[in-house]
Structure 1
Amino acid sequence: MSDSGRGAQYFWCTRHHRVETEADVCPARYVMGPYSSSAEAANALEHVRQRNEAWDAEDARWAGEER
């Protein structure tokens, strides 16, 4: 781990479908993060789903569509 003063970092690996740490993280193209906890990393896809729904609703609002 680097000596930058940060705590441990966790990543969600889309290739292996698991939480990874800096010690065993896959290449950047396969991971989401960093997150400050393992639980946050494990919920990464749910956060993405929620964000996408909110953005889709906002796009529909701007376009004058009902959702």
Structure 2
Amino acid sequence: MSDDGSGGHYYWCTRHHRVETDADVCPARHVLGPYASAADADNALQTVRERNDAWDAEDARWAGEGR
């Protein structure tokens, strides 16, 4: 699937492990997004990991851990 710049949305489907568009998107419970580009959707799981790591670090900081 290519990012044709059509202005549509792209999603990462956790069920099919692929990028989907507005035209073929699975139910919301199976997707991450929307993303502005196919590349962003393709990197969705990495983005989730990075955000979770940052939030875990912030939670630890608030709890006074790691001092």
Deviation, structure 1 residue 21: 0.5
- C-alpha RMSD of the superposition: 1.5
Structure 1 residues not aligned, in runs of 5+: 1-5
User: CA offsets, 1:15-51, max 9 Å, x none?
Assistant: 0000000111001100011101000000001000000
**Corresponding letter in the other structure for 1:50:** E
Alignment match, 1:13: 13
Structure 2 alignment gaps of length 5 or more = 1-5
- Mapped to 2, the partners of 1:27 and 1:49 lie a distance apart of 22
TM-score (norm 2): 0.87
Q: Which structure 1 residue ranges, 4+ long, deviate > 2 Å from structure 2?
A: none
Per the alignment, residue 3 of structure 2 pairs with none
Aligned residue in 1 for 2:32:
32
TM-score by length of 1: 0.87
State how many pairs are aligned: 62
| 2:44 matched residue in structure 1 | 44
Identity %: 74
Once the two structures are TM-superposed, the CA of residue 7 in structure 1 deviates from its matched residue by 1.2
